[in-house]
Amino acid sequence: MTTHLNLTASTHELRAEGLAVGYGERHVLSGLDLEIEPGTVTSIVGANASGKSTLLRTLSRLLSPAGGQVLLDGRSVHSMPSKELARVLGLLPQSPVSPDGITVADLVGRGRHPHQRMFRAWSAADDAAVAHALDATATADLADRPVDELSGGQRQRVWIAMVLAQQTDLLLLDEPTTFLDVSHQIEVLDLLADLNRDRGTTIVMVLHDLNLAARYSDRLVALEGGRVYAAGPASAVLTEQCVQDVFGLRSRIIDDPVSGGPLVVPVGRHHVAAG
Amino acid sequence: MTATLTPTASTGSPTGSPAGTLAKVTGARLGRRRRRALVIGILSVLVVAVFAASLMVGRTFYGPAEVLGVVFGQDVDGATFTVGTLRLPRAVLAVVAGACFGLGGVTFQTMLRNPLASPDIIGISSGASAAAAFAIIVLGIDGPARSAFAIVAGLGVALLIYLLSSKGGVAGTRLILVGIGIAAILTSLTNYLLSRAGSWDLQEALRWLTGSLNGVGWEQVLPTLVALLVLAPVLLGQSANLESLTLGDDTAAGLGVRVNRTRLVAVIAAVGLVAFATAACGPIAFVAFLSGPIAARLLGPNGSLLVPSALVGTLLVLVADLVGQFAIGTRYPVGVVTGVLGAPFLLYLIVRQHRIGATS
Ligand SMILES: Nc1ncnc2c1ncn2[C@@H]1O[C@H](COP(=O)(O)OP(=O)(O)O)[C@@H](O)[C@H]1O
Ligand SMILES: [Mg+2]
């Protein structure tokens, strides 16, 4: 897809330099460099346990790196006031928790936290942001329903509405399509593409489906061995060699008849036509 | 700035206009606020009513005029001693301690996302109680030093549980099991201390085992009142952060909450409240454990449970103390009554969580 930069486009630039992150003795990322251009959609791909979530959590400073730094517009995110950062950069984690019985409108309203003061007084701006987030995700009809009662696809849209209500120019999403059926996956990705195109929101997401990642992203970042194995447009990153090195999988790359981009066709041990 | 949606992105039913959505959002928020105001209002009225009743009712009944007279410092024949010296400190401590237990309990339950994780289940109250009993019985010290002992013990138990269970993730079942074990050890320690006490006093023993308001005077009320006035605002200041923590640590951090700092402040304030109240009247059984879930039932998912839980805690202690004194033939300390209420709920929760744990 293409990115139409417009006046509301994000101008915030996120960059990681020489990141080294681990849990205790275990090193997950080492010497990772990454640059996220404003107004683009970036997908992070990599094998299970390759550190994709760790990278997102470090970019949004949930984790402190042992080495290197994360810079937002040249400032280290680890030295920014936490609410100030949360007004620029939003995160949808891999497994968020919805409190018992909470309604959709209430959950989406939680996204306003970084915009509110200590003894919070709700403002008209808060209501407007929530309404806008509900409309953008087509969840306005669900506003009064308890989140526990929704389908997986609806719930995921509600969580996306929650981070939209945060009104950040940068959005990090960890596996926003996992556990969704294919039509709901497309629905979520179309929604994110709309946000990127219409508001210029910079999007960084972790995706497992290489073909959808290729189609919906301006750039792919392939992680391997705690570093960036390759980064760039899907057509440059998704090579048979890359799939082999990053996922340990043999594959063929053909043209996606729908988007014209690359399409990965995995080659397993079975069901392979001779010739 | 308008987000255009592809037709496939709608749920099938037509989405309201942006203006319609805004009205809906505002309406829902005002509805939540009304429900909140209603619940808090009703609870407050009940607290005032039961508080007033507990000043009037007793071996001798005194009417509102006499009670008010005593409260405002007039000399009322007979009532000045009975109401002013016996009933008033007792009722005030019931209010203050109930609020302390309610706040402390719901803070732990919210933070650890588990109703079983309340301070009276996981050993923090038992620690404070054992320390207070130790201070009085063995060391013979009283007053603020007794409270200090209780606080240190409460924090010590919290730290110990954290260290012993930190491997399983702080919110895990492991923490609760470790806490229940520690509570059992500390309760038997209290039993031991009581059995070693020179003059065996059943009332005093029951105070440290189940909690009692018998014979309290202003010297027990004051430190607890000060603790509530200092620590409750600290907790209320964390209320929005605690609310965000219920969405999971990562989501909360993404919303700009400093997760570890919020936890630390909340734990210290909650342990402080529970320990001060325990030092004054013992670990009034299950009040910390029951207040949050009852408040949640009444309020629904309509915002912070701190204030409603404080009111429910207060109401529980006031009512249970009245029941314990006058409703049954024999006089029972307040903790025996709340214990009878809390035990079935504890069993219910354990059975339910076990079932959830077994199926998921
Ligand atoms: N909280 C944690 N504590 C210890 N190890 C962790 C933690 N989170 C992730 N890891 C480990 O770090 C590695 C990378 O995990 P993660 O970033 O979640 O991978 P991915 O998201 O790519 O599947 C894995 O080996 C995982 O076991
Ligand atoms: Mg992950």
CB of A25 within 6 A of ligand 1: the answer is no
Please give the average per-residue pLDDT across A131-154, as a whole number: 92
Ligand of minimum distance to the alpha carbon of A28: 1
Superfamily of domain A10-88+168-238: P-loop containing nucleotide triphosphate hydrolases (3.40.50.300)
Residues A85 and A157: their CA atoms lie apart, in Å, by 23
Question: Residue A18 above 90 pLDDT?
Answer: yes
Q: Which two tokens stand for residue B282?
A: 């013992």
User: Which residues, other chains included, contact A85 with Cβ-Cβ below 8 Å and sequence gap of 6+?
Assistant: A60, A61, A72, A77, B256
**Residue in B with minimal Cα distance to A60:** B254
What is the Cα–Cα distance from B334 to A48, expressed in whole angstroms? 56
Asked if A62 and B5 come within 8 Å (Cβ–Cβ), the reply is no
Q: Is the CB of A48 under 6 A from ligand 1?
A: yes
Nearest Cα to B31, choosing from B323, B310, B360, B300?
B300
Asked if the C-beta of B9 comes within 8 angstroms of chain A's C-beta atoms, the answer is: yes
Distances (CA, A) of A161 to B11, B210, B255, B292: 14, 48, 13, 29
In this prediction, residues A224-237 reach a mean pLDDT of 95
Distance between CA B8 and CA B53 in Å, rounded? 62
Question: What is the separation of C-alpha A136 from the centre of its chain, rounded to a whole number of angstroms?
Answer: 17
The whole-number pLDDT of residue A239 equals: 96
Domain holding B157, by residue range, is 47-356
* A52 pocket-lining for ligand 1 (C-beta < 6 Å): yes
Rounded mean pLDDT of B351-360? 59
**Helices B144-165 and B173-196: crossing angle, nearest 10°?**
140
| pLDDT exceeds 60 at position B16 | no
Specify if B101 maps to a domain.
Answer: yes
Domain residue extents for chain A: 10-88+168-238, 98-167
In contact, A184 and A156? CB cutoff 8 Å? yes
pLDDT digits (tens, 9 = 90+) for B186-205: 999 988 888 877 665 677 77
Taking residues A30-42, what's their average pLDDT?
95
The CA A205 to ligand 2 mean position distance, Å, reads: 11
Question: Is B37 among the domain residues?
Answer: no
The tens digit of pLDDT for each residue in B153-166 reads 999 998 888 888 77
Would you call B244 and A113 a contact, using CB atoms and an 8 Å cutoff? yes
- pLDDT, average across residues B67-78: 86
Minimum-distance CB partner of A106 among B3, B251, B301: B301
Give the Å distance between the CA of B255 and the centre of ligand 1: 22
**Half-sphere exposure at residue A193, Cβ-oriented, CA atoms within 13 angstroms:** 19
Q: Do B26 and A144 touch (CB under 8 A)?
A: no
The H-or-E segment that residue A253 falls in is: strand A250-255
User: Closest Cα of chain B to A92: distance in Å?
Assistant: 7
Non-local (6+) Cβ contacts of A150 within 8 A are A104, A142, A158
pTM of the predicted structure, to 2 decimals: 0.87
Q: What is the pLDDT of residue B274?
A: 95
Phi, psi (rounded to 5 degrees) for B324: -60, -35
pLDDT single digits (tens) B32-44: 899 999 999 999 9
CB-nearest partner of B254 from A91, A135, A154: A91
* A181 pLDDT above the threshold of 90: no
Alpha carbon distance B128, B171 (integer Å): 22
What is the tens place of the pLDDT at every residue in A87-113?
Answer: 999 999 988 888 888 999 999 999 999
> Is position B52 within any domain?
yes
Q: Which is more confident, A63 or A180?
A: A63
* B98 inside domain: yes
Residue A92 β-bridge partners: A173
Distance CA B238, CA A118 (A): 8
pLDDT at A217 > cutoff 90: yes
Most A CBs within 10 Å, among B5, B8, B11, B255, to test the A interface: B255
Write down the pLDDT at residue A7. Answer: 44
Statement: residue B308 has pLDDT above 60: yes
Under 8 Å CB-to-CB from A261, ≥6 apart: which residues?
A214, A215, A234, A235, A255
Phi, psi for residue A230 in degrees, rounded to 5:
-155, 145
Average pLDDT taken over every residue of chain B: 86
> Mean per-residue pLDDT for A50-74?
94
**What are the start-end ranges of the E strands in B170-287?**
none
Q: What is the mean pLDDT of residues A176-189?
A: 89
- Residue among B52, B58, B99 at smallest CA distance from B225: B99
> From atom 24 of ligand 1, which residue's Cα is the shortest distance away?
A49
Say how far apart CA A209 and CA A215 lie, in whole Å: 10
Among the atoms of ligand 1, which is closest to the Cα of residue A94? 21
| pLDDT at A245 exceeding the cut of 90 | yes
Q: Which residue has the higher pLDDT, B207 or B172?
A: B207
pLDDT category at B113 given cuts 50, 70, 90 is confident
- Give the model's confidence band at B301: pLDDT under 50 very low, under 70 low, under 90 confident, else very high: confident
The reply to whether B33 falls in a domain is no
Does the CB atom of residue A226 touch ligand 1 within 6 A?
no
- For residue A29, the SS3 value is strand
| Res B78 pLDDT > 90 | no
pLDDT of residue B3: 46
Kind and range of the H or E run holding A263 = strand A262-267
What is the per-residue pLDDT for A10?
65
The predicted structure's pLDDT at residue B236: 95
- Inside any domain, residue B139: yes
State yes or no: pLDDT of B132 exceeds 90: no
* SS3 label, residue A43: strand
Q: How many domains does chain B have?
A: 1
Q: Residue B167 pLDDT more than 80?
A: no
Interface probe for B, chosen from A62, A63, A175 (most Cβ of B below 10 Å), is A62
Percent of chain A, pLDDT > 90? 80
List chain B residues with CB under 8 Å of A177. Answer: none
Asked if residue A6 has pLDDT above 90, the reply is no
Distance CA B335, CA B322 (A): 12
Strongest mean pLDDT among A13-27, A126-140, B93-107, B210-224: B93-107
Domain harbouring B117, CATH code: 1.10.3470.10
Is the pLDDT at B357 greater than 60, yes or no?
A: no
User: Distances in Å between the alpha carbon of A51 and those of A30, A55, A213, B272?
Assistant: 10, 6, 17, 40
Ligand number nearest to the C-alpha of A223:
1
Any A CB within 8 A of B5 CB:
yes
Asked if residue B215 belongs to a domain, the reply is yes
Residue B25 lies in a domain: no
- Is residue A121 in contact with ligand 1, taking CB distance under 6 Å? no
pLDDT at B137: 82
